[in-house]
Amino acid sequence: MSFSDALAVLLKEEGGFVNDPHDPGGMTNLGVTAKTWAEYTGRPATEAVMRGLTQVAVAPLYKSRYWDKVAGDQLGDALGLMVFDFAVNAGPGRAAKMLQKIVLAIPDGQIGRGTLQAVQAYSMRKGIDALIEAYADARRDYYRALPTFWRFGKGWLARVKRVEDAALALLK
């Protein structure tokens, strides 16, 4: 799966502009928070700016800050999608560490040669589908432990299921 294919899946999940006072991320559009957009562009992210974001505008941010940070091109289509989606939702370091813990690599938050070798070894022993399922289960556990689960949990769990299903479908 190319970055653009993974981004299409992600943007379908992220949706449009929201500014939920219960969301610690605050004002968000296409999954990009105002804070992240301001850091990325070096300019204030006003409501007008945030409402005006387009898929074309946010794609380079997603590529550099999330896809590349989790080695999306090297993880394979299905796993790349799963890890990328979680990186966007919870941060690339957390997404990498979650994968590293599952495959018994050093959990340093950086997906490099050691992690990729551990992913390959895990996949050889148990199968890539088992790795996808283990990653999805770990995501569900992560969300259930968050204090905002009462508000967003149903949506988070549904998202994990949809992305897991999309990832597993890539294996067929």
Q: Which residues of 134-157 are buried (b: 16+ CB within 10 A; e: fewer)?
A: bbbebbbebbeeeeeeeebeeebb
CA distance 104 to 10: 27
Tens digits of per-residue pLDDT, 1-25? 689 999 999 999 988 899 988 777 8
CA proximity to 28, closest of 162, 127, 119, 152? 152
Number of structural domains (the chain) is 1
Convert the pLDDT of each residue in 39-90 to its tens digit.
999 999 999 999 999 999 999 999 999 999 999 999 999 999 999 999 999 9
Q: Is there a contact between 53 and 37 (Cβ–Cβ < 8 Å)? A: yes
What domain range includes position 29?
3-170
DSSP class of 73: G
* Coil/strand/helix, residue 28: strand
CATH number at residue 84: 1.20.141.10
pLDDT of residue 24: 79
pLDDT band at 172; cut points 50, 70, 90: confident
Give 126-165 pLDDT, tens digit per residue.
999 999 999 999 999 999 999 989 988 999 999 999 999 9
> Which whole-number Å values give the CA distances from 2 to 7, 19, 30, 108, 120, in the listed order?
9, 30, 19, 25, 20
